[in-house]
Amino acid sequence: GNSVTQMEGPVTLSEEAFLTINCTYTATGYPSLFWYVQYPGEGLQLLLKATKADDKGSNKGFEATYRKETTSFHLEKGSVQVSDSAVYFCALSYWGTGNQFYFGTGTSLTVIP
């Protein structure tokens, strides 16, 4: 089946620290991979995506590379800011399932000044 496993949180970092949130997936085909971010009291916003192996998605200083050999899509940012405090969800979408999304359980990030 299809599933996503995320690094458990919560994660607390100081401003300007390096961030990594691990994500691995299981899929029956060749999914597209996504990172969504959810700020307190809000819905999900698309952060970045990658549609095939070795693709790198990037946005707002965040990056993630689609690694088929390790079935991973780890999220990284070189220098986090207080405004990055949110919950981050890794997800996969598989064309064969009509693009139904499968989400991880989310990783809460708090950045302190």
Q: Identify residues 19-78 at the interface with another protein (CB under 8 A).
A: 32, 34, 36, 42-46, 49, 51
5 binds another protein (CB under 8 A): no
d(CA 110, CA 107): 10
Count the residues of the shown chain that bind another protein, applying the rule CB under 8 A: 25
Neighbours of 67 (CB within 10 A): 15
95 binds another protein (CB under 8 A): yes
**Region of residue 13 (phi > 0: left; psi between -120 and 50: alpha; otherwise: beta):** beta
Choose the binding region for another protein from 11-19, 62-70, 76-84, 104-112 (rule: CB under 8 A).
104-112
